[in-house]
Chain A
Amino acid sequence: MDVKFSEILQKLPDKINHILLKTPIDVQKNAREIRLRAGRKICVIYGNKLHNVNKILNSDEIQECFKSICGYSVHAHLHEIIQGFITMSGGHRAGLTGTAIYDANNKLINLRAISSINLRISRQILGVAQELIGMLGGELGKLLIVGAPASGKTTLLTDIIKHLECRLVSVVDSRGEIASCLNGTPQHNVGNADVFDCWNKEDAIVSAIKTMSPEFIVCDEIGNEADIKAVEACVGAGVELIATAHAGNFQDMVKRNVIKKILKTGAFENIAILKGKFEPCKVESIVKVSDLFAGAGHNDFGDLSRDYGNIALCEFKNQSKAN
């Protein structure tokens, strides 16, 4: 029985637990996600494969799983439920979807009739950031890590935080995925970092700068308009930002106007682009933000970037050969 797999099963009702206990051990050891969907078979995702369990869940069973994951305390997790996830002990997380309930101001206030639960098995891998740290010569500040979903951005980020355990680090864990705090205790090894659990980024960054005197602020998934203000709060405050953003590759990244605006704030000096979900946590290339703007001669580096992906890769490879 895989330890991480069994940690997740303990959160489920006995009936579902006993069914999943029969999952082959090789599937358990490599399991990334357990998908529970109303009216469909339970599915375990391991590596790039699917293992279907011969059990179709009805909606009552999904509701029971949901309540069990909440510790039969739905009210205590409402904030997380609205964001679509619940953090579980061990750093695992349950992604939720169902029928959305909006208030008169069109603000999402609750979910009902949960239809799918995605149990993401957390496997913190220590040392996975060593390659990236080596490429940057140990200079981790002002770093943006860019990658597609499941490319290892958060895993890398967590390991970077652990690497910085002798420094003053504040972690803005808006979605509870970096430290995965449970009752205030990080479930992942984040060294001596101070964690702002489920805070919005701007409030957390301002508070961290005022109260925690950080040398580094780390946050996950920047990429909307609200994050621009959050990032600007770091600039000029003597704090170095390390963050991640979603993008399949360099070309996808430069198409995102919000990312361009964020890069123009000056909060980042280096962009590490990851290879993707088939080689998680592996770095494709490192791009200097100053180089992105240097050749363009104007505010928008869109035209330059079409070729820049190849240029950056060549420069990186040449640099690697020289080293």
Chain B
Amino acid sequence: MNLKINQKQIEKLIQLVNWIKTEIRYTQAEIYDIVNDLLSNNNFKSLSFLNDVKNNMNSMPFPTAWETAITNWNSSILKEDEELLSSMANILGASDSTGQISALDHIEKRFETSYEFAKNLCETKGKLCKSLGILMGLAVLVIFI
């Protein structure tokens, strides 16, 4: 798994949840319109599952469309984060605004925890790789000398 990409994708997912919360809170737009607006937002271009969600909605109910799209998404996120993202299928549009936003707040917090974990892992492993790289270089130098 590419740690850097994982971190970036989780960051995008946090922005996604935040954006959806804003849409539900202020525009009360339908889910279909929210998905369309997400697709037209360049900020979420890397979340390719959104295209599948829109296409799937033509032939299946939204919860199934969302879950299927997540399952087929070729992402770098951890399985727990994928399940968290998938669980949004049963939140979005399933209740009034307050209920959805409250549930999405919880999901956003969990993504933020994942993001911090991914960031620390990236930094730790990054430093480790850097150190290993320097050592390898020195070893080669010593061998040649």
Contact = CB atoms under 8 A, between A and B. Distances in A.
Asked whether A and B interact, the reply is yes
Interface of A: 13, 64, 67-68, 70-76, 78, 110
A76 B31 CA distance: 9
A86 to B, nearest CB: 12
Question: B interface, by DSSP: helix, strand, loop or mixed?
Answer: loop
B58 to A, nearest CB: 12
8 contacts: A67-B61, A72-B62, A74-B94, A75-B100, A76-B28, A76-B29, A76-B30, A78-B96
Interface in B88-104: 92-97, 100
A76 B94 CA distance: 10
A75 B95 CA distance: 6
A67 B97 CA distance: 15
A73 B61 contact: no
A72 B28 contact: no
B131 to A, nearest CB: 51
B17 to A, nearest CB: 15
Interface string B75-97: 00000000000000000111111
A73 B93 contact: yes
Contacts of A68: 61
Contacts of A67: 61, 93-94
A75 B24 contact: yes
Contacts of B94: 67, 72, 74
B73 interface: no
Given A13-B61, A68-B61, A74 B96 contact: yes
A72 B29 contact: no
Contacts of B32: 71, 73
Contacts of A76: 28-31, 93
Interface string B122-144: 00000000000000000000000
Interface string B41-69: 00000000000000000000111000000
Contacts of A71: 30-32, 62, 93
A70 B63 CA distance: 13
B93 A72 contact: yes
A75 B61 contact: no
A68 B96 CA distance: 15
A72 B92 CA distance: 8
A144 to B, nearest CB: 35
B31 A73 contact: yes
Contacts of B97: 75, 78
A73 B63 CA distance: 11
A73 B96 contact: no
A13 B30 CA distance: 17
A241 B29 CA distance: 34
A110 B95 CA distance: 10
Given A71-B31, A75-B93, 14 more contacts: A72-B62, A72-B92, A72-B93, A73-B29, A73-B30, A73-B31, A73-B32, A73-B93, A74-B94, A75-B28, A75-B96, A75-B100, A76-B30, A78-B96
Most B CB contacts (10 A, CB to CB) among A68, A71, A110 go to A71
Nearest to A78: B96
Nearest to B99: A75
A74 B62 contact: no
B93 A70 contact: yes
Interface in B1-48: 24, 28-32
Contacts of B24: 75
Contacts of A64: 61
Contact of A74 (B29, B61, B63, B93): B93
